[in-house]
Structure 1
Amino acid sequence: MSATERAIASAEAHSAHNYHPLPVVVATADGAWMTDVEGRRFLDMLAGYSALNFGHGNRRLIDAAKAQLERVTLTSRAFHHDRFADFCTQLAELCGMEMVLPMNTGAEAVETAVKTARKWGYKVKGVPPGQAKIVVAANNFHGRTTTIISFSTDAEARADFGPYTPGFEIVPYGDLTALQAACSANTVAVLLEPIQGEAGVLVPPAGYLAGVRELTRERNVLFIADEIQSGLGRTGRTFACEHEGVVPDMYVLGKALGGGVVPVSAVVSSSEVLGVYRPGEHGSTFGGNPLACAVALEVVTMLRTGEFQQRASELGDHLHQELGLLVGGGAVEAVRGRGLWAGVDIAPSHGTGREISEKLMDRGVLVKDTHGSTIRIAPPLVISKEDLDWGLDQLRSVLAGQ
């Protein structure tokens, strides 16, 4: 039995089967490349679902983490620490907002956004107690907590986990008319992904986000943008909302905010919105810890230069140009996305998304399937054009049956 087979067999025997990973066992990684336990190299074209926007082992982020490890890693929010104020201040400035509420994971940040919107609705908007409603989009993916899966339309994520949390209304993604009809006097927020990642990198119709912004402003409803996957450079802008010149009332951030080093998430908004909290009403032992703040501060500093956004834009244009050439040839039915992020719908005659992912793995490229027929491509923003082209060559070969 090989080292890979032993590791997989042990994992299968001793861990819950809540994932179906590709049969590769990563041991080391650097930049856009990963090496498995047997020394085989793989081009990472997934980047931890955008958590690794800056690549594996980014030296600036590793150095920031190492320096902080020698000082202090955790205080809890029972005390102040010397990285917290800088983190909140600089992240708020990056977002054009005023306040930050730090958490750890993306799902925690979404839960925090839901609680915040409800409290704002009761304390500021004047919604009757217990009547707050949040409008969400079909095919969303905001996490896997009990509350979040309560407004999921994905049967696999939702089934057998009830009873479900009330207070949400689901409308079709990209449909402004349906959204307008769903907003009532008791609606406190509209929660959307500017681009739906897990659904297959679905980009909404042009003008949709601007329409959501206008509608929510007219109805005194918060516009919450879940930019956990789409934000922090992935689409060629700091935030995907910027493609339509839109600034929401609240950003929900995660994944790349921790640089692939530690889990870091945050809700960023105005003082009017986040100012509804009082001590004891919400918290997290690890949220905003010194190590997380040190790494996230470096992430913010790196994003301020604009170089990663520009790189994602330029390489993204190249990626979509090359992928677009595959459409109509019989193997690829559609391609969607922005920046270094694409969903590629595979024709059923050429295999499932999983089968294509496995064939790419055999050729040294790692991607991940979703919803049966789609593969997602989202390499680290530091990938070279040469490596990106090599990865696309492997995709062409697989689709050609070579």
Structure 2
Amino acid sequence: MSASGFPAEGFAAPQRRRLVTEIPGPRSRELAARRAAALPAGLTSSAGIYAAAAGGGVIVDVDGNCMIDLGSGIAVTTVGNSAPHVVARAADQLEAFTHTCFLATPYELYIEVAETLNRLTPGDHEKRTALFNTGSEAVENAVKYARAATCRPAVIVFDHAFHGRSLLTMTMTAKDRPYKHGFGPFAPEVYRAPMAYPYRWPSGPDNCAAEALGRLADLIDVQLGADAIACVVVEPIQGEGGFIVPADGFLRGVEQLCRDRGILLVADEVQAGIARTGRWFASEHEGIVPDLVVTAKGLAGGLPLAAVTGRADVMDAAHPGGIGGTYSGNPVACAAALGVFDEITSNNLLERARDIGDLLTRELREITAGTDVIGQIRGRGAMIAAELVLPGTTEPHRDAPARIARHCQDNGVLVLTAGTFGNVLRFLPPLSISDELLRDALGVLAGAFATL
């Protein structure tokens, strides 16, 4: 057994780092050439390798290279790639039927997923859940529910936020390139408030929460008027923005502002939810109870599924036929989600996420002692980031993450970058990864920093 409690072997991918060709190898380069001829230029990928198999903490490429996976498909394969419960549930459902459209001929699996999310999301109030295909779609539908329930148009979001690539969610997203540039005009009635970002708050982290809440209150009460605002949408930990953990007390203050003014609070848990941070939902770390919770990514172990779970009176406000989609709540994806819940409970993955976070943070602090470009290490559970800065400053080091990621990939480790300024390394390992693989990967990472 590995230190994680998972078997060291038994996955489709051998649980070790092994390079047999240069990176990318000849077969990956061949596929890249075919891709260039068949796919549009705007559809990019961070890694130059092409996957052939994956499991545990490893991705095997088409050339036979075994790469340690610290990205989980951007937090999607949280319970591990092709996790046993997920595969078994999905395979059984594939044999039964692949699709009927829940709007036409419903099925029990959808109801089971909804019942589970109603039970697991924060708060003991009566809830309802609707299923969708992607995080963007779910966020957009959360706003639809909020507008229907309040009869108000406006939506407040935050600096550094990422909510998706559809018209509304692209508008809600803060960063221009690559997400918004050239794709306007954007949706109306979306307004932006400062995020309580302790590392970069102008007057320092001690003042961050109070001052950010003051500016949010000003936006609500002075600039917009509370009676015009349907909802405030916030990521309890910002994902693409750079794993920003809001200053202590900020989210509780946002919740109270919303409660006092009859505004609905929407928690976008697309990246941080479903056991990633060591709790079922990142909102739990702050003790907040959102009116609506959005989940996706890790919900179905790699199959497309997303959800909006919320207060029954809010979710019931949309008129019949106003919500839904042809593929929403596909039965195979629902079966996979039930497998994800099984994996988390049977393998104690909430505790495993916390252990991974402790190991990552401890090893990153050791790396920090030998370099002057790590400004801050932050995150929760198996959602950890390092923000890189120019030596002796807090200025973003914009080219260092790409250089480090390239060194890691050349040596068999896959890492992701993030951040409004492109200066953040983020670590999202699958919870099925072993401690041995993690330490090996972090040794490669330390070597990458030594090259800067």
TM-score over 0.5 (shorter chain): yes
Instruction: Give the aligned partner of residue 197 of structure 1.
Output: 239
RMSD (Å), alpha carbons: 1.7
Deviation of 1:74 after TM superposition, in Å, equals 0.9
Q: Which residue of 2 is the match for residue 113 of structure 1?
A: 142
Match of 1:176 in 2: 213
Between the aligned partners of 2:55 and 2:362, the Cα distance in structure 1 is 27
Three-state SS of the structure 2 residue aligned to 1:70 is: helix
Equivalent residues in 2 for 1:23-42 (5 A)?
A: 23-42=48-67
- The Cα shift of 1:305 comes to 5.4
Q: Check if 1:148 corresponds to 2:169.
A: yes
Deviation larger for 350-359 or 155-164? 350-359
Equivalent residue, structure 1, for 2:205: none
Q: Which amino acid aligns with 2:116?
A: Q
How far residue 348 of structure 1 moved from its aligned partner, in angstroms, is: 4.7
Aligned partner (choices 290, 306, 321) of residue 265 of structure 1: 306
Within the alignment, does 1:80 sit opposite 2:91 as a pair? Answer: no
CA contact (8 A) 1:45 1:379 kept: yes
Give, as a single letter, the amino acid of the residue that structure 2 aligns with 1:229.
Q
Question: For residue 349 of structure 2, what is the amino acid of its counterpart?
Answer: F
Q: Sort the Cα spacing of 1:91 and 1:306 in 2 relative to 1 into closer, same or farther, 3 A.
A: farther
Q: Check if 1:99 corresponds to 2:123.
A: no
Equivalent residue, structure 1, for 2:32: 8
Structure 2 residue identity aligned to 1:253: T
Q: Quick check: 2:164–2:173 contact (8 Å CA) kept in 1?
A: no
Give the Cα–Cα distance (whole angstroms) in 1 for the partners of residues 334 and 172 of structure 2. Answer: 31
SS of 2:294 mapped into structure 1: strand
Determine if contact 2:149/2:318 at 8 Å carries over to the other structure. no
The amino acid of 1:368's aligned partner reads L
Distance in 2, Cα, partners of 1:379 & 1:20: 18
Secondary structure in structure 1 of the residue aligned to 2:227: coil
Structure 1 residue aligned with 2:158? 137
Aligned residue number for residue 387 of structure 2 = 345
Alpha-carbon offset, residue 84 of structure 1: 2.2
Deviations 1:61-90 (A, max 9, x none): 001100000101211121221322222112
- For the pair 1:71 / 2:96, whether they are aligned, the reply is yes
C-alpha separation between the residues in 1 aligned to 2:319 and 2:338?
A: 25
Matched AA of 1:239: F
Secondary structure at 2:333 match in 1: helix
SS of 1:287's partner is coil
- Taking only the aligned residue pairs, the percentage that are identical comes to 34
TM-score by length of 2: 0.84
Residue in 2 aligned with 1:309? Answer: 350
Question: Deviation digits for residues 259-316 of structure 1, max 9, x if unmatched?
Answer: 11x1000000011010012222121111112112111122233444581111111221
The letter of the residue matching 2:143 is V
Which residue of 1 is the match for residue 432 of structure 2?
382
Q: Is the 8 A contact 2:86 2:338 kept in 1?
A: no
Q: The residue matched to 1:225 in structure 2 has which SS? A: strand
Native 8 Å contact 2:89 2:336 kept in 1: yes
Q: Give the CA deviation at 1:197.
A: 0.9
Mapping of residues 123-134 of structure 1, within 5 Å? 127=152, 132-134=153-155
Q: Which amino acid aligns with 1:241?
A: S
Tell me, in whole angstroms, the C-alpha distance in 2 between the residues paired with 1:365 and 1:162: 37
Deviates more, 1:90-99 or 1:287-296: 90-99
Moved more, 298-307 or 262-271: 298-307
Moved more, 364-373 or 350-359: 350-359
Distance 1:177 1:325 in 2: 37
CA 1:305 to 1:224, structure 2 compared with 1: closer, same or farther past 3 Å? farther
Q: Which runs of 5+ in 2 are unaligned?
A: 1-24, 197-211, 221-225, 392-396
SS at match of 2:299: helix
CA distance in 2, matches of 1:195, 1:221: 21
Return the alpha-carbon distance in structure 1 between the equivalents of residues 242 and 435 of structure 2.
Answer: 24
Task: After superposition, give the CA deviation of every residue in 1:229-271 in whole Å (9 maximum; x if it has no partner).
Answer: 00011111111111111111110000111111x1000000011
Q: C-alpha distance in 2, partners of 1:303/1:279?
A: 34
TM-score, normalising length: structure 1: 0.94
Structure 2 letter corresponding to 1:59? P
Mapped partners of 1:193, 1:364: distance in 2: 31
In the alignment, which residue of structure 2 is the partner of 1:207? 249
Give the letter for the 2:414 counterpart: L
Q: What is the CA deviation profile of residues 331-372 of structure 1, one whole-angstrom value per residue up to 9, with x for unaligned ones?
A: 422222111112222345785211111100011100122243
Please state whether the residue corresponding to 2:115 is helix, strand or coil.
Answer: helix
Amino acid of the structure 2 residue aligned with 1:176:
L
- Rounded Cα–Cα distance in structure 2 between residues aligned with 1:354 and 1:20: 13
**Residue identity opposite 2:108 in structure 1:** D
Q: Does 1:354 align with 2:402?
A: yes
Runs of 4+ in 1 over 6 A off after TM superposition: none
- After TM superposition, the structure 1 stretch with the greater mean CA deviation from structure 2, 347-356 or 208-217, is 347-356
Among 280, 289, 313, the residue aligned to 1:247: 289
Distance 2:291 2:343 in 1: 24
SS of 1:155's partner is coil
SS of residue paired to 1:66: helix
Cα drift, residue 17 of structure 1: 2.2
Q: Provide the rounded CA distance (Å) in 2 between the counterparts of 1:302 and 1:5.
A: 36
In structure 2, give the amino acid aligned to 1:325.
E
Contact 2:162 2:172 in 1 (8 A): no
Give, as a single letter, the amino acid of the residue that structure 1 aligns with 2:91.
K
Task: Mark the runs of 5 or more structure 1 residues left unpaired by the alignment.
Answer: none
